[in-house]
Amino acid sequence: MGLFSNNNKEQTQKREEYINELKRKLNRENVNKNDIFQENYFEWEVKDLKSNNISTSHAFTFSKNQWEIIFNLNQDFVSIYLKSQSNESFYVRFLFSLRNHKNYSCFDAKEYSTLQNFTKQGEMYGIKEFIKTSSLYQKYRYCDSNKPLVENNKLILGIYIQSYQNDTTVNTEEKEDYINKLKDLIEVENEMADNVIDEGYNEFLIENFDNIWSSCSSQFKIGDYYW
């Protein structure tokens, strides 16, 4: 049995609370937990902060792929990107966090706007204007200790990341917009529009292209007919 000081226990608890808060922020949208394949948290200490400086994190393994985080500190804003090191397809959602290296309650976190499909090595997605550079050095409004995010010229960059089996978790608004764009591609003459009795959208996932000769979707119903 290990022995831990009260201080270590307190720090462990604060770290767990911090990570759970990041997870909660990422899951504010309706997410089916059964669709999540893997999820984890990673962090990296950024030192010697200089304006117009681009830093790359150490590579980390998640969902059988190697990833890197690109941290770009320019004069106006901090930009943060997630970079894939594989040509395979990965659907991920992620959230970046910048925090004071001594305080788990002093942080700023923002999620990337959507579920993203990474398909090739070197592909990057992220947040161009994560925070104003000047805000890094000011007493941070969300910090209960009234400290800045940067102390002793360093901070902690974290990412909470989730991988999905496929893109079934795309949020409702995005899917509706996608379907409406498809609908607009179908040109219906004005005189024919009144004759449309029903409409609908259906999709199914095709996998293992190298091992199939043909594929058939599950049965679906539109306009009282099965297709």
With CA atoms as reference, report the closest residue to 37 among 91, 103, 106.
91
Q: Is it the case that residue 136 has pLDDT exceeding 60?
A: yes
The closest of 223, 204, 201 to 215, measured between CA atoms, is 204
Domain ranges of the chain: 6-164
Lowest model confidence (mean pLDDT) among 13-22, 46-55, 77-86, 202-211: 202-211
Pairing verdict, β 124-132 and 116-118? unpaired
Calculate what percentage of the chain has a pLDDT beyond 70.
Answer: 70
Average pLDDT, stretch 101-109? 92
Q: Which helix (H) or strand (E) holds 54?
A: strand 53-56
Q: Which CATH architecture has domain 6-164?
A: Sandwich (2.60)
Pick from 105, 46, 107: which is nearest to 73 by CA? 46
Percentage of the chain lying above the pLDDT 90 cut: 47
Q: Quote the pTM value.
A: 0.69
Sign, CA torsion 206/212/216/218: negative
Q: What is the mean pLDDT of the chain?
A: 81
How far is it, in rounded angstroms, from Cα 202 to Cα 191?
Answer: 26
pLDDT band for position 181 (50/70/90)? Answer: confident
Weakest-pLDDT range from 43-52, 79-88, 166-175: 166-175
**Measured in Å, how far apart are the chain's first and last C-alpha atoms?**
62
